[in-house]
Structures are given as structure tokens and as C-alpha cells.
Structure 1
Amino acid sequence: MLPDTKDVLVLRTDFSDDGKWEKICNWIAEPTPKDGFKAAVYFLSEKKFGGLESEELLTGIAKNYKHFFIFIVDSTTIAHMEHPVLCIDLKDNPGDTLRVIPSEMYSIENNLSISNMNFEEFKSSVDSDGVFRGFR
């Protein structure tokens, strides 16, 4: 079972490269250069979650988990050149997904956490490869 956390979870499910995991965490935590915005997230790296699939994740979230979404650093995140993190909707359409580059995670976290935007608004703004790289 995944823990309930104050901030949105960034869950590591791929343990093939510790160095990439650390770099991805640093990119996610870095404030935006212009405005200083950053994602309010909690990084969770426990090997017991290695290889966890989306379906298993949906059944393993604590009933009191108060966030509307979760971020996953999986094998695609580690292997892809841009390291797009998987984001899973837990509210409007549970199980719906999109990918987001680490430097844009603040936008999703900030807006979804305060219900300023919904998951579908971000999903409709992904590029043709399904990755959100910011609003153009």
C-alpha cells in the first residue's frame, strides 16, 4: 500500500539507474528560472515498488490519499532521452495517463492540486507523442 503524503507522490518503480533517478529528482525539484515555481512533491524510492504497474498502483493507493494524481518514474522515464514522467489521474477518470517532462511537472502539480485546471486540460495539450512539454 502506498502511503498518504502531504505532497503529491513521485514514485520510483524502475531501479535500473540510481544516477538517472537522482538527476530526474533534481530536475523536478528545481524552481522555474523566471518565476521560481516548483512542484510540491514527495519522492518515494523503495525497492518494494519496483516494477509496479498502473493497475496495481490504483488498487494500492491508501484510501486517505488526498491527491488527485500521482507521478511515476518508470522504465520509460529512465530510458527516454527527455525522461518523461508518467502522471496518472486518480479523480476524474482514474487510470487515465499522460507523460510530462520533469521541468514542467510544477505546472501540473500546481494547477491540479488547487483545482485550477483539470487533468483533461493537460492531456489535451500534450504533443503528438503524448508528452506534455508546457503550454505553447
Structure 2
Amino acid sequence: MTRLPQPADLTSLVLRTDFADDDAWHALQEQIGLLDRHPHATFVSDPAYAGITAQAVVDIDAAAGDDKLTYLFLADATTMTDDENPLLAVDTYDEPGRTFRLPVRWYADVSANLAIGNVDFADFADAADGAGTYQGPDRE
């Protein structure tokens, strides 16, 4: 892989890394789509990314030249099997490799704020609980 897919304008990349359950992937896409009337995700489901880690994503992005991302979300095995479908947010720009989880219910808010640069990745990561999960603005 020479570079990561690019998200559509004002959306965030949601990269599928777990391919054990197609129904879980489709349910995740539907949940994200229901969060807001505006699209917030560019979904990529390519088996070439099966099992890819946050560090591997950072390494691929670092070699991308001008097509670098600043962050993305991984839909990994935890996302697909946990009741809250917590995506793994990965910083690829300011602190490459820094991560936090966010339940899918917070995806639209986090994605929108990151996409327009209203809130930095570190602000969300710093607000994560002891388990590394962002639980929303009321828990900061």
C-alpha cells in the first residue's frame, strides 16, 4: 500500500479493518448515517486493510507525500463486536499514532469538529476516560 484512501470533502475516513461480519459493518454504516442529516463519513471496505494497526496506518500515511491525512477512524474487531461500536480514532498528523476510542453515538460530533478544525484531535484524546474512550462533552 502506497497511500491511504482520501475522504470526501468535510467527511472523515472510516476504514474497515475487521472482515469477520459483513452485517456488523453494514449496521455500523447505517448507525453513522442516522446520526445526522449531513454525511460525515467516507467508508472504505477493502480487504487489503484487513487487520491493519494504528501504527501501520501512521507509517503508510507518513510515506504519502502531499496526500497525507490528519486523522482517521478504524472499524476494527472491537468496533464490530462491542455493543457501543467504539471506533478507534487515530491521529496521523500532530501526534502520529495517538488514539482514542469513541462510541458510534459521538462519531458525528467528533468527525464534524475534526473535519473543520474546530477542535484538535488532542482535545478529544485528552478528554477520554481512563480506558481511553471519549464519552462525550459532558464527561470532559
TM-score (norm 2): 0.84
Report the more deviating stretch, 60-69 or 23-32: 60-69
Query: Which of 74, 77, 83 lines up with 2:76 in the alignment?
Result: 74
Which 5+ residue runs of structure 1 have no aligned equivalent?
A: none
- Please state if 1:57 is matched with 2:57: yes
Q: How far apart are the structure 2 equivalents of 1:122 and 1:85?
A: 13
Higher relative helix content? 2
Q: Equivalents in 2 of 1:126, 1:80: separation in Å? A: 18
- CA-CA distance at 1:39 after TM superposition: 5.2
1:22 paired to 2:11? no
What's the counterpart of residue 95 of structure 1? 97
1:109 and 2:111 aligned:
yes
- Count of aligned residue pairs for this structure pair: 132
Measured against aligned partners, the alpha-carbon deviations of 1:95-134 in whole angstroms (never above 9, x if no partner) come to 1000011121111111112111111211122233221121
**Normalization by structure 1: what TM-score?**
0.86
Identity of aligned residues (%): 30
- C-alpha RMSD of matched pairs (Å): 1.8
Answer yes or no: is 1:119 the counterpart of 2:124. Answer: no
- Partner Cα separation in structure 2 for residue 102 and residue 73 of structure 1: 10
CA contact (8 A) 1:67 1:113 kept: no
Distance in 1 of aligned mates of 2:53 and 2:35: 30
Shift of 1:41: 1.5
